[in-house]
């Protein structure tokens, strides 16, 4: 294993899950639901808990709710997994505030999305990321997801940002495998695959680990795939990836991960209900049946 992998494992883990935000039927946050989810994820082999990300419906959370969730996950995980807090917004001042709140609440690291909607220049992206990285003592994982932000973090920008001592990883949801290899070759940035459909290809070209939505219900399978790739057993890794195709299709190619992950966790009895905040909507009966069929045969440990 390379030194960047070892370092990133210590800071973030390798088998990360983009957690949902369990809610009560009225849309308020469910602390008991979050406790049960943390226990479930740790039991199924997750060593990195990403809270307040896209799958956690971060865009609908207030600053107080975001800090509350980070504190709840940190308190429940009690060192069993790293806690990575999503703090990115399109406003640098607000992002810095959320970063400091997350640090105070007990986060181990930060996940910072490229500023969205405002579409800054790459120089603006660099200035934003450096300002946030300078605001706390926590390691930072950049989140490159142009399908949601409207713009990418250019390879040259990633290379420049890698010079900052606390910007040490990338959640790559861009899907450009050649660019990812090129950046890894020129920097010490640890890459985490942020597209469940491409988990194995990213691991095969040198990604440190996964930041998975499907991991909400199949973290054990992801852990096995990471281990298989690291020991050079690609046959086993391919078999695991193939076994997850129906579930990945049902969760990632339809309504969206925040909705489908909650529905799947509810069907498994991990969280009490699948409530999401508008503008997200619950799955239709036909979508629920498709998801239930995909869950059949997935060996997830439910605590």
- The model's confidence at residue 170, banded by pLDDT at 50, 70 and 90, is very high
pLDDT in tens, 229-265: 999 999 999 999 999 999 999 999 988 899 999 999 9
- The residue written with tokens 């808990």 in the block is 49
| CA-wise closest residue to 83 among 165, 2, 138 | 138
Grade residue 301 by pLDDT with cuts at 50, 70 and 90. very low
Rounded distance between C-alpha atoms, residue 20 and residue 76, angstroms: 15
34-48 per-position pLDDT tens digit: 999 999 999 999 999
Inside any domain, residue 111:
yes
Cα–Cα distance, 105 to 116 (Å, whole number) = 25
Residue 301 inside a domain? The answer is no
Q: How far is CA 181 from CA 147, 164, 189, 208, in A?
A: 20, 20, 11, 12
Neighbours of 7 (CB within 10 A): 16
Report if residue 222 sits inside a domain: yes
Residues 71-116: tens digit of each pLDDT: 999 999 999 999 999 999 999 999 999 999 999 999 999 999 999 9
Is 303 part of any domain? no
Give the residue numbers spanning the domain of 100: 3-295
Task: Tell how strand 140-144 and strand 167-172 pair up.
Answer: parallel
Query: Do the Cβ atoms of 228 and 236 come closer than 8 Å?
Result: yes
Nearest in space to 95 (alpha carbons), one of 49, 126, 133 = 133
Which residues in 262-281 are b (16+ Cβ under 10 Å) and which e?
bbbbbebebbbbbbbeeeee
Q: Is the peptide bond before 279 cis (omega within 30 degrees of 0)?
A: yes
- Smallest CA-to-CA distance from 73 within 111, 27, 98, 39 is with 39
CA atoms within 13 A on the CB side of 186: 15
What pLDDT, in 10s, does the model give residues 104-129?
999 999 999 999 999 999 999 999 99
Determine the pLDDT at residue 254.
Answer: 83
**Into how many domains does the chain fold?**
1
CATH number of the domain within which 270 lies: 3.20.20.70
The strand pairing partners of 113, in sequence order, are: 143
Q: Which residues have a catalytic role annotated?
A: 143, 171
CA 255, CA 280: separation in Å to the nearest integer? 9
């Amino acid at each position: 294993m390379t030194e960047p992998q070892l370092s990133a494992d210590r800071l973030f883990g390798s088998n990360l899950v983009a957690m949902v935000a369990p809610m009560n039927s009225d849309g308020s946050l469910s602390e008991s639901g979050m406790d049960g989810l943390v226990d479930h994820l740790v039991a199924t082999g997750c060593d990195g808990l990403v809270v307040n990300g896209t799958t956690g419906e971060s865009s609908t959370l207030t600053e107080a709710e975001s800090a509350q969730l980070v504190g709840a996950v940190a308190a429940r995980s009690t060192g069993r997994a790293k806690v990575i807090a999503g703090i990115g917004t399109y406003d640098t001042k607000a992002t810095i505030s959320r970063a400091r709140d997350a640090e105070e609440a007990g986060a181990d690291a930060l996940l910072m999305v490229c500023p969205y909607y405002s579409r800054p220049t790459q120089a603006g992206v660099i200035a934003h990321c450096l300002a946030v990285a300078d605001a706390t003592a926590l390691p930072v994982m950049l989140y490159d997801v142009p399908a949601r932000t409207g713009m990418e973090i250019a390879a040259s920008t990633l290379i420049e940002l890698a010079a900052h001592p606390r910007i040490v990883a990338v959640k790559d949801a861009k899907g450009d495998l050649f660019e990812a290899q090129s950046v890894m070759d020129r920097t010490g940035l640890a890459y985490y695959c942020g597209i469940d459909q491409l988990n194995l290809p990213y691991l095969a070209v040198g990604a440190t680990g996964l930041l998975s939505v499907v991991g909400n219900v199949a973290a054990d399978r992801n852990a096995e795939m990471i281990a298989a790739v690291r020991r050079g057993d690609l046959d086993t890794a391919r078999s695991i990836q193939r076994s997850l195709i129906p579930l990945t299709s049902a969760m990632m190619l339809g309504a969206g991960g925040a909705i489908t992950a909650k529905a799947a966790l509810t069907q498994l009895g991990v969280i009490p209900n699948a409530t999401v905040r508008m503008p997200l909507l619950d799955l239709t009966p036909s979508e629920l049946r498709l998801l239930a069929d995909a869950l059949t045969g997935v060996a997830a440990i439910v605590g």
